[in-house]
């Protein structure tokens, strides 16, 4: 049982012994061990992973000569008990990150317009933080333009346990996206206003995120419904604005940061993507999209918010970053020595050193 305590459920990321998933263990003469495991749902997509991990953990014990793993499925009552255990005894879904005692940093990544590489930046920041040992969740809130699953190389679909949704894990990042909920294919999701708000609320309240250090939200470009709903549902969350050096793009990005200020979000910095192209023949830089956009946005938001908004980094144009996104392996993992990967890893390291701000949080204090 101690050995099985080291086996984590691949979706919930907690020991199967703690989750009540070990049904029966029998040790026969000669060292043959039989382990019966409860699966949360029939047709569990990760049943082979659980089987392999149990065999490895038990098979490593001295004297064990063979390991047989049998699988069964939890009853409805067992699943309800598991749901209550994961929710801390609460029956109703809640947004854990909106509660005063939450220690999770919630960071939205926004842009004024599409095409500036916001999703690429978000995916790589998530992967870099996870690789550095942080517990990371990534919510693809770009409902219409969802691209995070492809960039993380996952085609897995979430598993539902009663009224809880278990998100897939890719490169150590728990991820949920609207693209995981619709039928296979490239059909659009025709959602508007209240339904967009409801879907975002479902992602935040019904998905079992576990204990996260950081939750990143890949927000849709602009200042529409989802950006407003995210700010209302996650009061006290922080925001990073992504822009390009082009001043026209910077002017639009400034609006996204300005909205955050109106909604009492803290803008913690600006990332200038596609900042320059490194000359292949010398150490010079080719400013394909001009220069100064990131600094212009940072200065404007500093004036608007009354607090210092720095430029967190300048990510160069790098062919490998595009190739990595198409291939499903973030460039910080697949090509860590590339210029873009080094800059993104540096930005992520800076974020990892920051603690969660108490600005905008209810502290639960009462006067005496």
The pair of three-digit structure tokens given for residue 7, joined into one six-digit string: 């086996």
**For the chain, how big is the Rg over CA atoms in Å?**
23
311-342 residue pLDDT tens: 999 999 998 998 988 899 999 999 999 999 99
Look at strands 311-317 and 266-278 and give their pairing: parallel
201-218 residue pLDDT tens: 889 988 989 889 999 999
pLDDT tens-place values along the chain, 368 residues long: 999 999 998 878 889 998 889 999 999 989 999 999 998 877 777 888 899 999 999 999 999 999 999 999 888 888 888 877 777 666 567 888 888 888 999 999 988 888 889 999 999 999 999 999 999 999 998 877 788 999 999 988 888 877 788 899 999 999 999 888 766 666 666 666 677 788 888 899 889 898 899 999 999 887 777 888 888 888 889 999 999 888 777 777 777 777 877 787 889 999 999 998 877 777 778 888 878 888 988 988 888 888 899 999 999 999 899 898 889 999 999 999 999 999 999 999 999 987 655 554 555 555 55
Could you give the CA distance from residue 205 to residue 201 in angstroms, rounded to a whole number?
6
Instruction: Report helix, strand or coil for 219.
Output: coil
Domains defined along the chain, listed by start = 4-86 (3.30.300.130), 98-353 (3.40.50.300)
Element (DSSP H or E) covering residue 173: strand 173-177
Could you give the CA distance from residue 207 to residue 176 in angstroms, rounded to a whole number?
8
Per cent of the chain over pLDDT 70 is: 91
Phi, psi at 15, each rounded to 5°: -60, 140
- 80, burial (CB in 10 Å: exposed 0-12, middle 13-18, buried 19+): middle
């Amino acid at each position: 049982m101690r050995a099985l305590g080291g086996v984590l459920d691949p979706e919930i990321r907690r020991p199967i012994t703690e989750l009540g998933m070990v049904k029966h263990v029998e040790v026969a003469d000669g060292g043959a061990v039989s382990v019966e495991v409860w699966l949360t749902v029939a047709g569990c997509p990760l049943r082979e992973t659980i089987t392999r991990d149990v065999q490895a953990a038990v098979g490593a014990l001295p004297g064990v000569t063979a390991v047989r793993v049998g699988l069964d499925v939890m009853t409805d009552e067992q699943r309800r008990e598991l749901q209550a255990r994961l929710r801390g005894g609460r029956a109703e879904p809640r947004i854990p990150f909106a509660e005063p005692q939450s220690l999770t940093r919630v960071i939205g990544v926004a842009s004024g317009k599409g095409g500036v590489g916001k999703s690429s930046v978000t995916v790589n920041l998530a992967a870099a933080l996870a690789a550095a040992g942080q517990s990371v969740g990534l919510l693809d809130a770009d409902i219409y333009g969802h691209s995070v699953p492809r960039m993380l190389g996952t085609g897995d679909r979430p598993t539902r346990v009663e009224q809880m949704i278990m998100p897939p894990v890719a490169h150590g990042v728990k991820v949920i996206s609207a693209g995981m909920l619709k039928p296979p294919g490239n059909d659009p999701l025709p959602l508007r206003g209240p339904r967009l708000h409801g879907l975002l609320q479902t992602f935040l309240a019904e998905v079992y995120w576990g204990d996260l250090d950081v939750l990143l939200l890949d927000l849709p470009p602009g200042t529409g419904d989802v950006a407003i709903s995210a700010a209302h549902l996650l009061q006290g969350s922080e925001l990073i604005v992504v822009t390009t050096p082009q001043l026209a793009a910077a002017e639009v990005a400034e609006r996204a940061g300005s909205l955050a200020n109106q909604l009492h979000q803290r803008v913690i910095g600006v990332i200038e993507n596609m900042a320059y192209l490194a000359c292949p023949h010398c150490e010079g830089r080719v400013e394909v999209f001009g220069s100064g956009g990131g600094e212009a946005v940072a200065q404007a938001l500093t004036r608007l918010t009354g607090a210092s908004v720095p430029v967190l980094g300048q990510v160069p144009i790098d062919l490998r970053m595009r190739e990595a996104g198409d291939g499903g392996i973030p460039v910080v993992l697949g090509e860590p020595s590339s210029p873009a990967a080094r800059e993104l890893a540096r930005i992520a390291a800076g974020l990892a050193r920051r603690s969660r701000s108490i600005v905008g949080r209810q502290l639960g204090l009462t006067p005496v």
